[in-house]
């Protein structure tokens, strides 16, 4: 099991914490991370693109000119795909881009993402964050003391005061253990776990048996 230092919001050392090896010390397999990240990004796609085929383009009921005798090429509709204003051939249609990834694979990928942050010394455990009031300047002061740039901060539960204070600071994202995702962990260079969130993160995997 890995032992990490616990800091206060001024980055003064205030103790130590032992992290579960089956959550934070997993061998990282890039192909697993890639699969889960692609699935999460695909699920976010709206898939509402659409183009009209001949069946859906209005007009074109009458034959533009007679079949023979005009010297022109034969034509049966002015909504033909080769006409301006006509239909679209093989155009996009609404679809769902999502694909299934087994829950155990998703859990494994998240543990790998957490392990990668610990192995890369980009994981910081903070005892807690207390602000005198929900103001951006107060949170910015804490972020500066902790040396945070593009960081994902995991709080034990929803905290409206912290969320309101951090939402205008570029690069900082707040989340909770139940909403923690592989994509969020990997797209932030730093991972900050509040002390109360560590147990929740570890318990999330213990429930799944993964």
Same-domain check for residues 40 and 57:
no
- Kindly state whether residues 194 and 118 are assigned to the same domain: yes
pLDDT of 207 > 60? The answer is no
Cα distances (angstroms) measured from residue 119 to each of 24, 36, 122, 158: 9, 20, 8, 28
In this model, does residue 90 exceed pLDDT 80? yes
pTM: 0.82
Is residue 8 domain-resident?
yes
One domain, residues 153 and 176: yes
Count how many residues are written for the chain: 210
* One domain for residues 88 and 190: no
- Report the C-alpha gap between 166 and 176 in whole angstroms: 14
173 and 120 within one domain: yes
* pLDDT above 50: residue 209: no
In a domain, 133, yes or no: yes
Each residue's pLDDT tens digit, 73-86: 999 999 999 999 89
Residues 79 and 106 in one domain: no
- 169 inside domain: yes
Residue pair 154/177 in contact by the 8 Å Cβ criterion: yes
Contact criterion met (CB below 8 Å) for 142 and 173: no
Does residue 116 sit in the same domain as residue 152?
yes
Mean pLDDT for the chain?
92
Let me know whether 81 and 157 are in one domain. no
Other Cβ atoms closer than 10 A to 87: 19
Q: Is there a single domain that holds both residue 24 and residue 64?
A: no
90: left (phi over 0), alpha (psi -120 to 50) or beta: left
Three-class SS state of 193:
strand
Q: For residue range 110-162, list pLDDT tens digits in order.
A: 999 999 999 999 999 999 999 999 999 999 999 999 999 999 999 999 989 99
**105 and 176, same domain (yes or no):** yes
Tally the domains of the chain: 2
Q: Domain range spanning residue 37?
A: 2-46+98-204
Looking at the domain assignment, is residue 102 inside a domain?
A: yes
- Six-digit token string for 78: 């002015």
pLDDT at 205: 83
In this structure, are residues 194 and 153 in contact, taking their beta carbons and an 8 Å threshold?
yes
Q: What phi and psi values does residue 200 have, to the nearest 5 degrees?
A: -65, -40
Higher pLDDT, 187 or 60: 187
- Find out whether 154 and 199 touch, Cβ atoms under 8 Å: no
Q: Does one domain contain both 26 and 78?
A: no
CATH of the domain at 24: 3.40.1370.10
133 and 179 co-located in one domain? yes
209 within domain boundaries: no
Q: How many helices (H) and strands (E) does the chain have?
A: 7, 6
């Amino acid at each position: 099991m890995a032992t990490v230092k616990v800091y206060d919001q001024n980055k003064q050392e205030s103790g130590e914490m032992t992290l579960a090896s089956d959550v934070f010390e997993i061998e990282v397999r890039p192909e697993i991370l890639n699969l889960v990240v692609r699935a999460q990004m695909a699920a976010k796609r709206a898939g509402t693109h659409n183009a009209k085929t001949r069946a859906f383009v209005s007009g074109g009921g009458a034959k533009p000119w007679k079949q023979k005798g005009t010297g022109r090429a034969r034509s049966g509709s002015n909504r033909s795909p080769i006409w301006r204003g006509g239909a679209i051939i093989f155009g996009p249609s609404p679809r769902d881009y999502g694909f299934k990834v087994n829950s155990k694979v998703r859990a494994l990928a998240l543990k790998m993402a957490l392990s990668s942050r610990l192995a890369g010394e980009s994981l910081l455990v903070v005892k807690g964050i207390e602000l005198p009031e929900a103001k951006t300047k107060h949170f910015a002061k804490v972020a500066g003391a902790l040396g945070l740039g593009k960081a994902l901060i995991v709080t034990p539960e929803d905290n409206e005061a912290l969320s309101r204070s951090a939402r205008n600071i570029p690069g900082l994202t707040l989340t909770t253990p139940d909403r923690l995702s592989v994509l969020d962990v990997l797209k932030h260079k730093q991972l900050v776990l509040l002390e109360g969130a560590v147990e929740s993160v570890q318990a999330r995997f213990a429930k799944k048996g993964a």
